Structure 1
Amino acid sequence: MSLLKHRLAKTVKINRISAIWIIPIVTLCIGIWMLYSHFSQQGKSVTLLAHDASSIVAGKTVIKSRSVDIGIVESVTLSDDYKKVVIHGRINKEMEPLIKNDSIFWIVKPQIGRAGVTGLDTLLSGVYIELVTGKDEAGFNGKPFTLYDTPPLTAPNEAGIRINLESSQSRVVPRGASVLFRGYQVGNVESSNFDIKLRKMKYQLFIAKPFDSLVTQNVRFWKEGGVNLSLSSQGANLDIPSLDVILSGGVSFDVPDGSKFGEQAKQFATYELYPNKKSIQDSQYTDYHEFLLFFNDSISGLDKGAPVEYRGIRIGTVSEVPFYTKQIFDTNPISNHNIPVLIRIEPGRLSNVIDKPVDLASIIIREQNNGLRAALKSANFITGSLYVDLNFYPNYQNEETNIQNQEYGYDTIKTVPTGLSQLQAKIIQTLDNLNNLPLDKTVTEFNQSLEKSQQLLDSLNRLINSKDIQNLPKELKTTIDSLNKTLQGIQPGSTLQNQLQADLQKFEEIMNQLSPVLETLNDKSNSLIFAAPKKDDPQPKARGH
């Protein structure tokens, strides 16, 4: 029993770890390091919202920037309301600085546009998503981006200025149209949208640097496009823009004539878009005085924006044609034949002529007592356009002692009939005078004179057809033939003329022979009875005697 007791083994507790646990511990550490390395190198996740996911495949469609792969699409799903496509993508760690709040994503695929055919390389490689980084210094706040179908016209980080325009006109300027300054392209129309609440078109323009310095507070923007033909008193003016502007339209801007440049415009400043260049000149005259005119003549051809002139100098603009308010229509209906027209007198138009400011409205009100009146005049006989002309008419001077200068809350200007109306009245008066003439009696007497003239013509015809008158030409011909024969007898070379010349020569010889006898008789008249004394021969005289 004691021997068995001494043979029992003793157990000893070991406090160190077995070496077999080294392998799983190392494996666990490697796994943890691999997981950390995987997630730390993954980069940021971005969410893109699109209308459809055409040709976008999760795990295959890549995200690029300047043709360099910077990420990949991880998943493509629908939104909770099933109205949009939600695309989750992952950007590489080293490319995270490209993601900013104003970065732009769009799908690159084959397209035909104003710039030509683009995206042909995607026919083989498949579509991809292009990224253009922004310039927001705040970085990325994790909000979803909109995935566009077309690339941006200008990059968000490109230097320049963006301007907002508003327009209530019907003709739309398309996205991508040119922005021009005196015919030179300086930018593009980035977006074109219609505001349903305001019922206006809204545009966003981008003007690149250094042309952004041209945009100041006093510039005006107007539409370009199409061929503009204008007819005025100066003649016809044909303005033909470039072919690109004719096809797609455009926007031009400049400072109106006579206006200062002003300070530099700020980013996203809002301007009004005018219909044409001519309208921007009127926009600078914000100081005006309204007058109400009543015309008895037709206002056909007088449009809103027509000039108001004083002896050829423009001093205002027609504001409303016709101008009817409820009060005017109730007290002055159309049946009264007085058509109201509202005009604006703009003293700023005289700034180039007169240095000092002039209270033009007070002068017009005062000078009506001296015969100042308004009339409609023709601006162009071809188009039939009219304008309002102010001038002095002596016939209306001091016509009324107290002229009513205000009606319906507006200052008024008295009107006179137009030159065409006066001419028409004179023509009508002339026609009335002609109508009052005894034309019936005159026509009867004229018919009687015609009958007597016809009788006289019949008598002449009978006289001409008589035998005596018909034989007269034959006798006259015989007389002319006899005279012709007589003239032929005395013409040069005839017998009568030769005989006459011979007789004349003989007569000349006789006269030569009688010449000495006549001289002797001249000296001594009795020489025919008594012999004439002999004369001494003439002696030559000495030189000098």
Structure 2
Amino acid sequence: MSDPGPADLQITAPRRSFWRNLSIVWLVPVLALAVSLAIVWQSYNDRGVLIEIQFANAAGIVPGETTLRYRDVVIGNVEDIGFSGDLTQVVVSARIDKQVAPFLDEDATFWVVRPEVSARGITGLSTVLSGVYIEGAWDQTPGEVTTSFRGVSRPPLVQPGRDGRRITLRTEDGKMISAGAPVLFRGIEVGRLEQPRLTLSGRTIVVDAFIDAPHDRRINSATRFWDSSGFSISLGTGGLSLDVDSLASLVAGGIEFDTVFDGGRPVSPGYIFEIYPDEAAARRTAFARTLAGGVAVAVAFDESVAGLSNGAAVQFGGIRVGEVRAITAAMEDDVSGPDVQLVATLNLEPSLLGLPADADEAATFDYLEEAVQAGMRARLTSASLLGAELIVELVTLPDAEPAVFERSAEPLPRLPSVPSDLPSFAATAEGVLERINELPIEELLSQAIRTMASIETLASAESTRRTPEAAVALLEETRMLIADPEMRALPGELRAAIADLRTVVADLQQQDIVSTLAAALERTNAAAADIALASEEVPALITDLRALTAKANGLEAEELILAARRVLDSTDALIGTEEARDLPPALTQALNEVRMTLSALRDGGLIENANATMGSARSAADAVAEAASGLPALSQRLEQLVRRSEVLIAAYGDRSDFNTQTLGALREIKEAARAVSTLARRIERDPNSLLFGR
């Protein structure tokens, strides 16, 4: 028996934890992976909604490049282009911003923007550089998202969500109505026409028009539309009238509307308006509406009614008050036999005759009875001066023959009529034609031919042909003159001269030169007056001197000498006498008395007074000589003063009253100065001329 051995040792390897071998370094790729997944998810979540748009063709659309825009803002890109199942359409797959996707409902519209030239103008020019793009339009109300759309070939004329109203118009002629044509209200564009289309019968054309708010409130049952495209010419009594609409409507067509009568009612959706050929036709429909409840009367005419037709106007005082409804012939028995009369049925509107709007037939007949008694009659007249169309005119003739309104006549009450004055118009036209025939047409043509021949001769003359060359040469010389540096510098020099002149004038005004000159002129005038006064006294003095000289020259000197000799002889004889010998004592006594008298005179200052008088006379003579020598200088100074005054005064205007009067005064001063200068020169050459004259 053997001893049992030790039990087998079971060794179990330790269990390693997963986190034991995990390093923090592994967090980096894990975080990178998480970020990448987040970016992928963000990109996937933000990639937007994929929509499909069907077009007839994909001209210019490039996947990955062509953008989808809304109001010129990029909201998506084209990802793929394919075909529909039947290959009739091109399917463009575009991914659009998810913020915009909720607004894409079934009314959303898409179109391709390309350069286009039409009657409305040039559009899509920006795509020449950037390439074509897809434009979308929808309203601003979110709704159920739609991912499939059918694009249109042209942009819608009315964008979805635009405030206004869409109406339907109908016409029989759509020549001047095109898509995009303006809708006008009193000349102002308030809407647009959409694409015209034919009705199923093909007899009429209908077109939808969108009227912008708030002008859509003007649409009611009283609204009338008419064609405003092109221009119209009318000839009437007022002359030739040319009506030209706007240039846009002239090129692309257009319509205009207005409310032609009051009391219009709101129209329900689907109401169709007629388009009338012109405004006059549209406004006549208001009258037709008014006449729906008119009063019918008859008028018999004894003359031809050629030119009178159904629908012709009935006027009263120039206002349309009715229309002709029918023209028939009626036979009446007369004393001379049966008489055929032409009877016109008139439909009159009581309210247009001045009666209340609710006036009935009886009230209208009462009014007509009173009017007929006052002279109302019906007569035919021409609708225009040159046309043959006739209308019925209700006139009041005070001297008309008595007549009555046949109220009980059958089948309608009858108004009396009077003959028309249409022959007078014919006579007038005939007279006009006769005057035209009497015009010297041949003479006028001959004169016109001669005038044209003269013009041709003048045009073919060699001098006339040389005129353009001379004109070209003149222009060249003018260009050279203008291009001359001295000529270009002339404006600057003129401005500088004007500035200097203004400075001089300002200095003169500040220094009060004008008042100083005026004072100097006044003093000069006073001096001239004194000189003139002195000159007036000089001739008298000269005359006196001449008379004195003449008297001196008239004395007989020889006789005086002989008489003196005889006196001396007598004196000698007298002295030789005894009586003369006794004279010395007496003479001595007399001389003593004379000596005493002279002493008394000397004591009285007689000699000094005489000497003073002679000195004063000599001083006066010297002063006169000095003044005479200074007269030329004074004359020169006066002339210089006159010249300066003329230059100064010339600045105040060549034709002013002040200049004229001042120049006249200066001329007089100049003449006076010249006279003084002449007098001075004469005195200087011959001083004795003051005493003896010439």
TM-score range, shorter chain: 0.5 to 0.7
> Which SS does the other structure have where 1:148 is aligned?
coil
Q: Which residue of the other structure, out of 144, 149, 153, is the alignment partner of 1:149? A: 153
Report how far residue 105 of structure 1 moved: 2.1
Residue 229 of structure 2: aligned partner: 225
Which of 404, 408, 412 in structure 1 is aligned with 2:411? Answer: 404
**Counterpart-to-counterpart distance in 2, 1:125 and 1:298:** 76
| TM-aligned CA deviation for residue 187 of structure 1 | 3.1
Tell me: CA distance 1:211–1:53, structure 2 relative to 1, closer, same or farther (3 Å). same
Displacement of 1:129 in angstroms is 0.5
Percentage of identical aligned residues: 27
Partner of 2:281, secondary structure, is: helix
CA offset digits 1:177-217 (Å, max 9, x no partner): 22222223333324433333484333333344454455455
Tell me, what secondary structure is at the counterpart of 1:180? strand
Against the structure 1 CA distance between its residues 340 and 118, is the aligned structure 2 distance closer, same or farther, given a 3 Å change threshold? farther
| Residue aligning to 1:87 | 92
Q: In structure 2, do the counterparts of structure 1 residues 178 and 394 end up closer, same or farther at CA, with 3 Å as the change threshold?
A: same
Aligned pairs for 1:66-77 (under 5 A) are 66-77=71-82
1:277 to partner: Cα distance: 1.6
Please give the residue correspondences for 1:123-522 in structure 2 after superposition, counting only pairs within 5 Å: 123-135=128-140, 137-142=141-146, 144-197=148-201, 199-212=203-216, 214-215=218-219, 218-232=222-236, 235-256=239-260, 259-260=261-262, 270-285=272-287, 286-287=289-290, 288-289=292-293, 301-302=307-308, 305-310=311-316, 312-318=318-324, 344-350=347-353, 353-360=354-361, 363=364, 377-389=381-393, 403-405=410-412, 419=420
For 1:189 and 1:284, the matched residues in 2 are separated by: 24
Shift of 1:224: 0.6
**In the TM superposition, what is the alpha-carbon distance from 1:223 to its structure 2 partner?**
1.7
Aligned mates of 2:342, 2:13 — CA distance in 1: 128
Deviation of 1:379 (Å): 0.9
Larger relative contact order (CA 8 Å, sep ≥ 6): 1
Question: In the aligned structure 1, how far is the partner of 2:37 from the partner of 2:172?
Answer: 64
SS of structure 2 residue aligned to 1:120? coil
Please tell me whether the aligned partners of residues 165 and 272 of structure 1 are also in contact (alpha carbons under 8 angstroms).
yes
> Given residue 129 of structure 1, which amino acid in structure 2 is its aligned partner?
I
- Matched residues in 1 for 2:236 and 2:83: separation? 62
Determine the C-alpha separation between the residues in 1 that align with 2:194 and 2:272. Answer: 15
Structure 2 CA distance for aligned equivalents of residues 76 and 65 of structure 1: 20
Q: Does the CA contact (< 8 Å) of 1:62 and 1:71 recur in 2?
A: yes
TM-score w.r.t. the length of structure 1 is 0.56
Cα gap change, 1:301 to 1:176, in 2 (>3 Å): farther
Secondary structure of the residue aligned to 2:196 is strand
Deviation for aligned residue 1:156: 2.9
Counterparts of 1:320 and 1:3, CA distance in 2: 150
Shift of 1:33: 5.8
Distance in 1, matches of 2:312 and 2:88, equals: 52
- Equivalents in 2 of 1:206, 1:9: separation in Å? 96
Residue segments in structure 1 that go unaligned for 5+ positions in a row? 323-336, 406-411, 424-545
> 1: distance between equivalents of 2:342 and 2:36?
93
Give, in angstroms, the shift of residue 306 of structure 1: 3.2
Label 1:377 to 1:57 Cα distance change in 2 as closer, same or farther (>3 A): same
CA contact (8 A) 1:219 1:261 kept: no
Structure 1 residue 58 displacement after superposition: 3.5
| Cα distance in structure 1, aligned partners of 2:402 and 2:86 | 80
2:368, 2:405 within 8 Å by CA — same for their partners in 1?
Answer: no
Distance 1:36 1:420 in 2: 98
- Report the secondary structure of 2:355's partner residue: coil
Partners of 1:12 and 1:86 lie apart in 2 by 67
Kindly tell me: are residues 23 and 244 of structure 1, through their superposed partners in 2, closer, same or farther at Cα, counting changes over 3 Å? closer
Kindly provide the amino acid, as one letter, of the partner of residue 273 in structure 2: Y
- Distance in 1 (CA, whole Å) between partners of 2:229 and 2:316 is 34
Given the superposition, is the C-alpha separation of residues 67 and 312 from structure 1 closer, same or farther in structure 2, using an over 3 Å criterion? closer
Distance of aligned partners of 1:8 and 1:357 in 2 relative to their CA distance in 1, 3 Å threshold: same
Deviations 1:79-128 (A, max 9, x none): 44444333332211233355344433221111112453332332343211
1:104 aligns with 2:124: no
CA pair 107-343 structure 1, distance change in 2 beyond 3 A: farther
Cα 1:284–1:348, aligned 2, differ >3 Å: closer, same or farther? farther
Q: Secondary structure of the residue that 1:253 maps to in structure 2?
A: strand
Instruction: Mark the CA change 1:294 to 1:358 in structure 2 (over 3 Å): closer, same or farther.
Output: closer
CA deviation after TM superposition for structure 1 residue 142, in Å: 1.4
Distance in 1 between the 2:349 and 2:41 partners?
A: 76
Instruction: Please give the alpha-carbon distance, in whole angstroms, between the structure 2 residues aligned to 1:299 and 1:35.
Output: 94
AA partner of residue 190 (structure 2) = V
Higher strand share: 1
Shift of 1:29: 8.1
Tell me how far 1:72 sits from its aligned partner. 1.8
**Residues 233 and 379 of structure 1 are in contact (CA less than 8 Å); yes or no, is this contact kept in structure 2?**
no
Larger-Rg structure:
2
CA distance in 1, matches of 2:171, 2:16: 91
Unaligned runs of 5+ in 2: 329-339, 425-694
Q: Distance in 2 between matches of 1:127 and 1:319?
A: 62
Which structure dedicates a bigger proportion of its chain to helix? Answer: 2
Q: Residues 19 and 166 from structure 1, CA distance in 2 versus in 1: closer, same or farther, beyond 3 angstroms? A: farther
- For 1:408, the equivalent position in structure 2 comes to none
Contact 1:53 1:85 in 2 (8 A): yes
1:228 maps to a residue whose letter is: S
Contact 2:56/2:89 (8 A) holds in 1 = yes
**1:41 offset after TM fit, Å?**
1.8
TM-score where L is the length of structure 2: 0.45
Bigger mean CA offset, 60-69 vs 94-103: 94-103
For residues 27 and 306 of structure 1, the distance between their equivalents in structure 2, rounded to whole angstroms, comes to 94
The CA deviation string for residues 35-94 of structure 1, in whole angstroms up to 9 with x for no partner, is 754443232333333332222234432101233321122333344444433333221123
**1:536 alignment partner in structure 2:** none
Contact 1:176 1:188 in 2 (8 A): yes
Superposed CA offset, 1:228-268 (max 9, x none)? 22344555443222333322222222222xx3375787888
* Aligned CA-pair RMSD: 5.3
CA contact (8 A) 2:405 2:414 kept: no
Distance 1:380 1:167, change over 3 A: same
CA contact (8 A) 1:164 1:271 kept: yes
Q: What is the alpha-carbon distance in structure 2 between the residues aligned to residue 97 and residue 379 of structure 1? A: 65
